[in-house]
Homo-oligomer: A and B are copies of this chain.
Amino acid sequence: MTTFDLSEYLASRRAAIDRALDRYIGAQPGHNHTVWRAMRYGLFPGGKRIRPILTLAASELFGGKQEDLLPFACAIEMIHAYSLIHDDLPALDDDDLRRGAPAAHKVFGEGMALLAGDGLLTEAFCLLSAAEVRKALAPDLLSELIHEIGCAVGVAGLVGGQAADLEAEEREVDLAAVEFVHVRKTGALIHASVRVGARVAGAKGAELRQISRYGEYLGLAFQIADDVMDHQGEELESRAESGRKERRKATYPSIVGVAQAKERLAELLQEAVNQLTCFGSGAEPLRAIATQVVGRALSEELSSKIEEKHP
């Protein structure tokens, strides 16, 4: 048994990310303050910061220095925050609440929320190419990483997944279509979070492929876990309380049922942690993150099976 303390690990990484985000997105003189406030509203207090924590955790495995990684971790979180603000707009999911608080468009109006999302996305690319990042990294690697992040959140990734998701609302979809959406809308950025962390720290070849597959399995599992949790939550909570308007969204549990979705989830988690075996105890944070993030949606019985294989 390891003595690794996941709660402490997550809290310390999260604090470092929050401090860095606060520094990158502080109000600047001479700019429009409202759009900054709306951008910060989308960033703070924020959620679990899973994506930037994955970036840090993947880099630590290859000896990366946290200060070199924080701009990447924060840019990824800013992109995630932009996607949530736009997703909550009436034109897309039309959610009035985000993490129990009014969505950005309810506080700042739709126009300002739209611009705050645009601002977060754009400033993420500004941050990735900022002088302090250019100084710390080999310039050819830096532009490759900008490309990797851009593609993960462009039409082949996040935006394409959102578009497919939007279209899926209007027709019957099968499991393949749901997976198409998940892999792009959620999976691609999680995958990139892991890969970018590893690459900044110098991972290459077989090791990079291995850690990439971890990110790929985890990315898909993450969305299914969310949907399983939502599905179970909905049985406890009324739609009105959740702030979510009535919409038909195809998910793993809605197509194959909760039990089978959980089976699939357990398989994906198993595959994710299997990819880490070769890295030994240094991969404990990545293993523990996957197990916690995905495991919360599994029954104790399924969870324990996975832990047994990776003591």
Binding site for B on A (CB under 8 A): 28, 30-32, 34-36, 39, 86, 89-92, 109-115, 117-119, 121-123, 125-126, 128-131, 133-134, 138-140, 142-144, 146-147, 150-151, 153-156, 158-164, 166-167
Known: A143-B139, A143-B146. A119 touches B159 (CB 8 A): yes
- Roughly how many angstroms separate A131 CA and B162 CA in the complex, as a whole number? 26
| 22 A–B contacts, CB within 8 A, in A order | A28-B155, A28-B156, A31-B155, A31-B156, A34-B163, A34-B167, A89-B91, A89-B114, A90-B110, A112-B163, A115-B162, A118-B121, A119-B159, A122-B153, A122-B158, A123-B154, A123-B155, A126-B147, A128-B146, A139-B139, A139-B143, A142-B143
Known: A129-B147, A146-B129, A151-B126. A91 touches B119 (CB 8 A): no
Known: A125-B125, A150-B129. A111 touches B92 (CB 8 A): yes
- Roughly how many angstroms separate A111 CA and B139 CA in the complex, as a whole number? 37
Question: How many Å from the CB of A81 to the closest CB on chain B?
Answer: 13
Question: How many Å from the CB of A158 to the closest CB on chain B?
Answer: 8
Question: Besides A31-B155, A32-B155, 9 other CB < 8 A contacts?
Answer: A32-B164, A34-B163, A91-B91, A122-B153, A122-B155, A133-B143, A139-B139, A139-B140, A139-B142
> A160 contacts B31, CB within 8 Å?
yes
> B129 contacts A159, CB within 8 Å?
no
> A121 contacts B119, CB within 8 Å?
no
> A134 contacts B143, CB within 8 Å?
yes
> A167 contacts B118, CB within 8 Å?
no
- Roughly how many angstroms separate A41 CA and B169 CA in the complex, as a whole number? 23
> B91 contacts A159, CB within 8 Å?
no
> A150 contacts B134, CB within 8 Å?
no
- Roughly how many angstroms separate A119 CA and B35 CA in the complex, as a whole number? 21
> B34 contacts A119, CB within 8 Å?
no
- Roughly how many angstroms separate A150 CA and B154 CA in the complex, as a whole number? 16
Find chain B residues with CB under 8 A from A122 CB.
121, 150, 153-155, 158-159
Find chain B residues with CB under 8 A from A91 CB.
89, 91, 109-111, 113-114
- Roughly how many angstroms separate A173 CA and B282 CA in the complex, as a whole number? 59
- Roughly how many angstroms separate A154 CA and B155 CA in the complex, as a whole number? 21
- Roughly how many angstroms separate A109 CA and B158 CA in the complex, as a whole number? 19
- In order of increasing CB-CB distance, the 8 nearest A-B pairs are A139-B139, A35-B163, A91-B110, A129-B147, A126-B150, A32-B163, A122-B154, A139-B140
- Roughly how many angstroms separate A91 CA and B111 CA in the complex, as a whole number? 5
Q: Which of A91, A118, A130 has the most CB of B within 10 A?
A: A118
- Roughly how many angstroms separate A134 CA and B139 CA in the complex, as a whole number? 10
- Roughly how many angstroms separate A193 CA and B122 CA in the complex, as a whole number? 17
